[in-house]
Structure 1
Amino acid sequence: MVFVIGILAVLFSFLLRVPCRVPEWDVANRFPGLCATELNPGDLSVTPGTMLQGFFTGGPTGDQPIVVGMFTSVLGWMTTGLAQAFNIELNANTVLDLTVVLTAMVWVIIIATVAGLSGKQPSDPVVMAFAPTVLLVGFTAWDLWAVMFMMLAVASYIRGSPGIAGLWIGLGSTVNLLPALVLVAILFMAARYRYIGDFFIALLSSVIFFAAVNGPFMVTEFDRWRQQFLDSLNAPVQNSTVWDVWNPVIAGPTGLSINPESLQTLSLVVVLLAVVAVLLVTLMAGKDPSIVQVLLLLLIVAILFGREWSLLQSVWMVPLVVLARRSWIEFFIWQAVEIGYWATLNAPAGGWETQPLFAQGSWTPQEIFAVARFVALLWFLVVVIIDIQRGKRALLIGIHAKNM
Structure 2
Amino acid sequence: MVAGERLPVAGGGGQVAVARAGRIDPYADEPAREDWFVRGVSEAVGGPLGDHAVRPPRRGFWTPVRIVLALACLLFALHWVQKSPCRDGAWVNLKQYKDLCYTDVVALYYAEGLGEGQVPYADHKVEYPVLTGLFMGAVGLPVHAVGQALGPAFNQGKWFYDANALILCGLGVGTVAMVLALRRRRPWDALLLAVAPAMLFTATVNWDLLAIAPTVGALVAWARRKPALAGLLLGLGVAAKFYPLLILGPLLVLALRSGKLRQAGMTVLTAAATWLVVNLPFAVFFRDAWLEFFRLNSTRGVDWGTFWYIGAHFPRGRDGAGFFPFTWLSTHIPALNLLYGVLFAVCCLGIAALAILAPRRPRLAQLAFLVVACFLLTGKVWSQQYVLWLIPLAVLARPRWGAFLAWQLAEVGYFLAFYAELMGASGKGVIPEWVFVFFAVARLITLAVLVGYVVRDVLRPDRDAVRADGADDPDGGVLDGAPDAAWLPNRRRVDRFHVPVPS
Relative to the length of structure 2, the TM-score reads 0.65
Instruction: Give the CA RMSD over aligned residues.
Output: 3.7
Distance in structure 2 (CA, Å) of the matches to 1:386 and 1:352: 37
Instruction: Show the counterpart of 1:125.
Output: 190
Quick check: 95-104 or 235-244, which moved more? 235-244
Instruction: Show the counterpart of 2:430.
Output: 351
How do 1:1-12 residues align onto structure 2 when only pairs under 5 Å count?
1=66, 4-12=70-78
Distance in structure 2 (CA, Å) of the matches to 1:8 and 1:20: 20
Greater RCO, CA 8 A, separation 6+: 2
Distance in structure 2 (CA, Å) of the matches to 1:229 and 1:401: 34
Instruction: Show the counterpart of 1:67.
Output: 131
Distance in structure 2 (CA, Å) of the matches to 1:307 and 1:4: 37
Given that residues 174 and 214 in structure 1 are in contact (C-alpha distance below 8 angstroms), is that contact kept between their aligned partners in structure 2?
A: yes
Count residues in correspondence. 378
Instruction: Show the counterpart of 1:377.
Output: 447
Given that residues 131 and 239 in structure 2 are in contact (C-alpha distance below 8 angstroms), is that contact kept between their aligned partners in structure 1?
A: yes
**Deviation readout 1:38-84 (Å, 9 max, x if unpaired):** 35679xxx9xxxx9x96xx569998575435656666789999999x
Quick check: 176-185 or 243-252, which moved more? 243-252
**SS of the residue aligned with 1:120?**
coil
**SS of the residue aligned with 2:399?**
coil
Given that residues 182 and 220 in structure 2 are in contact (C-alpha distance below 8 angstroms), is that contact kept between their aligned partners in structure 1?
A: yes
Letter in 2 for 1:12: L
Structure number, greater radius of gyration: 2
Letter in 2 for 1:290: R
Residue 398 (structure 1) aligned to one of 461, 468, 474: 474
Instruction: Show the counterpart of 2:349.
Output: 276
Instruction: Show the counterpart of 1:287.
Output: 360
Distance in structure 1 (CA, Å) of the matches to 2:144 and 2:105: 23
Quick check: 198-207 or 239-248, which moved more? 239-248
Does residue 1:342 correspond to 2:415, yes or no? yes
Distance in structure 2 (CA, Å) of the matches to 1:177 and 1:374: 22
The structure-2 alpha-carbon separation of the partners of 1:228 and 1:120, relative to structure 1 and needing over 3 Å to count, comes to same
The structure-2 alpha-carbon separation of the partners of 1:140 and 1:243, relative to structure 1 and needing over 3 Å to count, comes to closer
Instruction: Show the counterpart of 1:327.
Output: 400
Distance in structure 2 (CA, Å) of the matches to 1:256 and 1:69: 38
**Deviation readout 1:199-256 (Å, 9 max, x if unpaired):** 321121011111221222222222222224544777788415223223554988xx98
The structure-2 alpha-carbon separation of the partners of 1:158 and 1:96, relative to structure 1 and needing over 3 Å to count, comes to closer
The structure-2 alpha-carbon separation of the partners of 1:247 and 1:224, relative to structure 1 and needing over 3 Å to count, comes to closer
Distance in structure 2 (CA, Å) of the matches to 1:235 and 1:97: 30
Given that residues 10 and 104 in structure 1 are in contact (C-alpha distance below 8 angstroms), is that contact kept between their aligned partners in structure 2?
A: yes
Does residue 1:35 correspond to 2:102, yes or no? yes
Given that residues 20 and 27 in structure 1 are in contact (C-alpha distance below 8 angstroms), is that contact kept between their aligned partners in structure 2?
A: no
The structure-2 alpha-carbon separation of the partners of 1:33 and 1:94, relative to structure 1 and needing over 3 Å to count, comes to closer
Does residue 1:213 correspond to 2:278, yes or no? yes
The structure-2 alpha-carbon separation of the partners of 1:236 and 1:140, relative to structure 1 and needing over 3 Å to count, comes to farther
Distance in structure 1 (CA, Å) of the matches to 2:95 and 2:75: 22
Given that residues 170 and 205 in structure 1 are in contact (C-alpha distance below 8 angstroms), is that contact kept between their aligned partners in structure 2?
A: yes
Instruction: Show the counterpart of 1:192.
Output: 257
| 1:7, distance to aligned residue in structure 2 (A) | 3.1
Distance in structure 1 (CA, Å) of the matches to 2:457 and 2:350: 15
| 1:306, distance to aligned residue in structure 2 (A) | 1.3
Given that residues 403 and 449 in structure 2 are in contact (C-alpha distance below 8 angstroms), is that contact kept between their aligned partners in structure 1?
A: no
Given that residues 146 and 172 in structure 1 are in contact (C-alpha distance below 8 angstroms), is that contact kept between their aligned partners in structure 2?
A: yes
The structure-2 alpha-carbon separation of the partners of 1:137 and 1:60, relative to structure 1 and needing over 3 Å to count, comes to farther
Identity among equivalent pairs (%): 24
Instruction: Show the counterpart of 2:25.
Output: none
How do 1:212-291 residues align onto structure 2 when only pairs under 5 Å count?
212-231=277-296, 238-246=303-311, 248-249=313-314, 258=325, 260-261=328-329, 262-291=335-364
The structure-2 alpha-carbon separation of the partners of 1:332 and 1:20, relative to structure 1 and needing over 3 Å to count, comes to same
Given that residues 388 and 394 in structure 1 are in contact (C-alpha distance below 8 angstroms), is that contact kept between their aligned partners in structure 2?
A: no
Distance in structure 1 (CA, Å) of the matches to 2:123 and 2:71: 30
Unaligned runs of 5+ in 2: 1-65, 148-152, 330-334, 482-503
Instruction: Show the counterpart of 2:81.
Output: 15
Given that residues 41 and 99 in structure 1 are in contact (C-alpha distance below 8 angstroms), is that contact kept between their aligned partners in structure 2?
A: no
| 1:184, distance to aligned residue in structure 2 (A) | 1.0
Distance in structure 2 (CA, Å) of the matches to 1:325 and 1:201: 28
Relative to the length of structure 1, the TM-score reads 0.80
Does residue 1:308 correspond to 2:381, yes or no? yes
Given that residues 150 and 169 in structure 1 are in contact (C-alpha distance below 8 angstroms), is that contact kept between their aligned partners in structure 2?
A: yes
Unaligned runs of 5+ in 1: 84-88, 354-362
The structure-2 alpha-carbon separation of the partners of 1:330 and 1:308, relative to structure 1 and needing over 3 Å to count, comes to same
Quick check: 23-32 or 156-165, which moved more? 23-32
